[in-house]
Amino acid sequence: MHTDPGRVIRAQAEALGFTRVRFARASDAPGIAAYDAFLSQGRHGSMGWMVASRGPRANPGELLPGVRSAVVLGVDHAWPRPADPGGLTGKVASYAWGRDYHNLVGKRLRRLARDLREALPDLGVYWGVDSRPLIERAWAERSGMGFIGRNCCLIVPGQGSYLFLAVLLIDVDLEPDLPRGGADRHCGSCRRCLDVCPTDAFVDSHQLDARRCISYLTIEHRGAIPEPLRAGMGRWVFGCDLCQEVCPHNHAPPPSPEPDLAPRPDHAWLPLPALLQTPDDVLEQSLLGSPLRRPGAIGLKRNACVVLGNLGDVAAIPVLEAQRHRGDLVVEHAEWALDRLGAGS
C-alpha cells in the first residue's frame, strides 16, 4: 500500500510534542537576501559564525544533497511570568526560564529523524534547531506558519511569537502549505516593537542591529558592554522580551504544553548578589541544562553588575565592591555600577 510521507511526518511530529508542523518547498533557501544585507553592514557584531555558515544557509543542497522539502516545526514556550520579587534581582527573557530548548527540541528531532527513516526507508534527512546553518524564521514564513514581523521575530497571527523553531530537510516532495502573506499585511501601521527598544537596536522595520540589541549584548557578546548602552539594559540580566511583550499578537499566546519549559526557581528573576557571590565554576555547574549558561559565569556577572547599577539601590554597594579583586571584565562593570550608585573610587 502506498505510504503518504506527509501524513506520516505530521503524525510522528505531533506525537513527539511538536505543536506546529508545516511543509515548504526547498528548491532554494528563503531569507538569504536579508541575511546578506545584515552581514554586509556588520550588524552581526562578533558573531563570526554567521559569516562562516553563510554558504549552506544559502544552499540547502549542501546540507542534504537532493533536498526537496522542508518540514518546519514549532514548540510553544509561553508560560506566565512569575511575580516580580523586587529587590536586587535581574529580569530574564522568557525562553530561558526552563530547560535549554536546544536539548529538548534536539532530542525530539533526533528521534523524529530515526522514526521517519524506519517508516520511510531510504529517506534522506537533515535537521537543525538554532545551532545549525538554517534560517529557521525564513523557512517558517515560507511554510505559512507565520510572518516575520517588524521586530524580526516569527509571528503566528493572533497567537504570537513565543515559540521555538526547528527545520527538517528531506529528499522527498511534500505538498507545501500555503503562506500567510507579507509582514506588512499583519503589522499594519503598528510600530510598538520598534519604539519600545531602549537601546534603539532597530534600524528600521525588519532591520535589527545586533550590536545594540540587549539579547546580543547580554548573551552572545563576550567583551565589555559599550557604556552608552548600559543604562538601556535596565533590569535585563539575560536576554530581552520587550519587542515581543508589546506586540498585539502576543496578547494571549497559547500556553506551552511543556512542563520542562516552566520557570525554574530563581530563573525568571535572578538574585544578583547571590549570583555575584557564587564562585564561577559553581555558578556554571548550577546552570547545566539551562540557556542561562550561554554567557558563562563572567558574562552573567558582567550583566549583573550593570543591572545593579541601573537599579540605583545602595544595598548593592558591598557586593559590587567585592568584585574589585577580579582580574577580568567584571571589574570594569562593577566600577561603572559603583559610580552610578555614587560609590566610585
CB 217 within 8 A of CB 36: no
Phi then psi dihedrals of residue 163, to 5 deg:
-150, 150
Residues that are catalytic: 130
- C-alpha distances in angstroms, 200 versus 144, 178, 211, 213, 214? 30, 34, 10, 8, 10
According to DSSP, the residues that pair with 165 across neighbouring strands are 74
The kind and range of the H/E element at 281 are helix 280-286
- C-alpha distances in angstroms, 142 versus 9, 13, 30, 38, 333? 18, 19, 7, 20, 43
Q: For residue 44, count other CB atoms closer than 10 A to its CB.
A: 20
Phi then psi dihedrals of residue 75, to 5 deg:
-130, 115
